[in-house]
Structure 1
Amino acid sequence: MSQRLRTTRRALMTAAATAALALTLAACGSGHGSAMAGMDHGGTPSPSASGHDMASMPGMDSASAGNGLAAAQDGYRMAATATALPAGKAAGYRFTINGPDGRPVTVFAVDQTKRMHFYAIRSDLTGFQHLHPVMAADGTWTATTAALRPGSWRLYASFT
């Protein structure tokens, strides 16, 4: 495959991923009763095919800065110790949103009926989950994902 073809293909995949995320976020604000799987606000994850390997989550490290997958913005950082979840079974992903002072934030405004919207999107766009994690008093959020297929997933947290 030529370098030009690889570059064009990479640009098209990036554009497709960006468009899918934009549509996902727009659909989230469209109210209840959406026909898209995983778009309800009931906190139940949408189903995903199962597998036996680990589902890895790149983009959760400092090396991802500047490519749209950074774990930090405006002094706020999404922090988690896990970089992978077991594939093929439901799992809880625990994380905090640390403020500019480095401490977990515990006060969030309600945005579109929830304090946190959490998205797990498979990098090839064949898997998607829109969740509403639960926050503990110490600021630790837990998003319980349905079974993830093996592969690369990107995690996004949307909050105010």
Structure 2
Amino acid sequence: MNTGVRIAVFAAALAATFGTAYGVGTGVGPVGAPVAPAHGDHAANGQAAKDRAAKEPGAPAAAGHAEHGQAAQGPAAGGLQVSEGGYTLSLESPRPAPGQGELRFSVKDSAGRPVTAFKTEHGKELHFIVASRDLTVYRHLHPVRGADGTWSTPVDLPAAGGYKAFADFTPAAEGAKGVTLGADLAVPGAYQPAELPPAARTAEVDGYQVALGGTLEPGKAGELKLTVAKDGKPVTDLEPYLGAYGHLVALRDGDLAYLHVHPNEGGPGPDVSFTATAPSAGTYRLFLDFQHGGTVRTAAFTVSVGGAAAPAPAQAPVQPSATPAGPPAAEGDGHAH
């Protein structure tokens, strides 16, 4: 084989090799690209599967999300994202000092502009909750909105550690749906996480006894009934608070998924009932705010849902320093104006 023929054969082989590599690279995609189809592709893939099933009896139908290796669960939990639905929770003070202080924040739209118009729900434009990562500190706050869309509220965070702030609101924009956003707070100092209180059906706060009845189940609506007594006698003159005789928030241990539960008709006590659906099995901390004698108090419960195992230890310390940690807040101190 002469030199010219050898060069031609080599060039042809080289072209074939690069052509094969290009085809493989195009089929697999760039390194780090997701292999699974994006959510936008599910409809097209599902329709294709349905069309195939219609033409080919016995062909598999489109798989839903529950068929991707995950069991069907309840409604999506709130508060797990700092941005959702075109809105973002922006904290101006993500590292507050321990003790008495002020939190400032805003809700921004997709253009980065502070939102200044909200629908009033349960007597407030926005419900703002702060809880410690170990779920021993709970604060239901009532911030004030400035004309520029900045909200501010006093807060008492007694101990160093990790906290999470939740903003629960519905924008006034036409067709807007309710949104719950969550953002992390870190209080500097030496931090020793507390153990989650054991599951119990009764709680006591400021001389009041609150009993929890009913069940919280994953993916299934159920009734929770809380019965309030004082000095062993039923309280039959509870006072309206946020448009009802009680306000209940549930937080899932581990990721602090937020479940804002709406009250049922009834009152003024001693029973306050709610309809709730847990987004998944797990251990939850329930916080009931109720008002009596002009004062709002908070009763807290630990509840295991769906045969959940004992809760895992709380998160690791947040940037420890020489600042001493304060004691966990009393559960009855969860409400502030």
Q: Name the TM-score, length of structure 2 as normaliser.
A: 0.29
Aligned residue among 171, 179, 200 for 1:60:
200
Question: Does the CA contact (< 8 Å) of 2:238 and 2:269 recur in 1?
Answer: no
Instruction: Report what 1:66 is aligned to.
Output: none
**Residue 220 of structure 2 corresponds to residue 89 of structure 1:** yes
Q: Tell whether 2:206 aligns with 1:74.
A: yes
Aligned pair partner of 2:133 in 10, 16, 35: 16
* CA 122–114 in structure 1, closer or farther in 2 if over 3 Å, else same: same
Q: Aligned-pair distance for 1:73?
A: 1.1
User: Per the alignment, do residues 90 and 30 of structure 1 end up closer, same or farther by CA in structure 2, a change over 3 Å counting?
Assistant: farther
Structure of higher CA gyration radius: 2
Q: Which amino acid aligns with 1:16?
A: R
* 1:144 and 2:261 matched: no
Q: Please say if residues 262 and 276 of structure 2, whose CA atoms lie closer than 8 Å, have aligned partners that are also in contact.
A: no
SS in 1 for 2:133: helix
Structure 2 residues without counterparts, runs of 5 or longer? 1-130, 145-165, 171-177, 181-196, 292-337
Q: 1:53 matched to which residue of 2?
A: none
Residues 114 and 95 (structure 1), Cα distance of their counterparts in 2 relative to 1, 3 Å cut? closer
Tell me the distance in 1 between the aligned counterparts of 2:268 and 2:239: 15
Corresponding residue SS for 2:210: strand
Shift of 1:94: 1.3
Bigger strand fraction: 2
Pick one of 245, 256, 274 that aligns with 1:115.
245
Structure 1, gaps ≥5 residues long: 1-13, 48-56, 63-70
Question: Which secondary structure state, in structure 2, belongs to the residue aligned with residue 129 of structure 1?
Answer: strand
Percent identity of paired positions between Structure 1 and Structure 2: 23
Match of 2:258 in 1: 128
Given that 1:78 and 1:98 are in contact with CA atoms closer than 8 Å, whether structure 2 keeps it comes out as: yes
Distance 1:88 1:98 in 2: 31
Three-state SS of the structure 2 residue aligned to 1:85 is: coil
Deviation readout 1:48-77 (Å, 9 max, x if unpaired): xxxxxxxxx954346xxxxxxxx1012211
DSSP 3-state at the match of 1:159: strand
Aligned residues of 1:95 and 1:140 also touching (Cα < 8 A): yes
CA contact (8 A) 1:17 1:125 kept: no
Change (3 A) 1:110 1:136: closer
Query: Residues 85-127 of structure 1: CA distance to partner in whole angstroms, max 9, x if unpaired?
Result: 2211121111211111x23212122334443111111122342
Distance 1:147 1:19 in 2: 20
Find the aligned partners of 2:179 and 2:225 in 1 and give their Cα distance: 18
Aligned to 2:233: 103
State the distance in 1 between where 2:233 and 2:136 align. Answer: 33
Q: Is the 8 A contact 1:46 1:130 kept in 2?
A: no
Aligned to 2:58: none
TM-score by length of 1: 0.55
The root-mean-square deviation of aligned C-alpha atoms, in Å, is 3.7
Higher relative contact order (Cα pairs below 8 Å, separated by 6+ residues): 1
Is the contact between residue 237 and residue 269 of structure 2 (CA under 8 Å) also seen in structure 1? no
Q: Secondary structure at the match of 1:141?
A: strand
CA distance in 1, matches of 2:269, 2:239: 17
Q: CA separation in 2, counterparts of 1:124 and 1:75?
A: 31
Comparing 118-127 and 148-157, the one that deviates more: 118-127
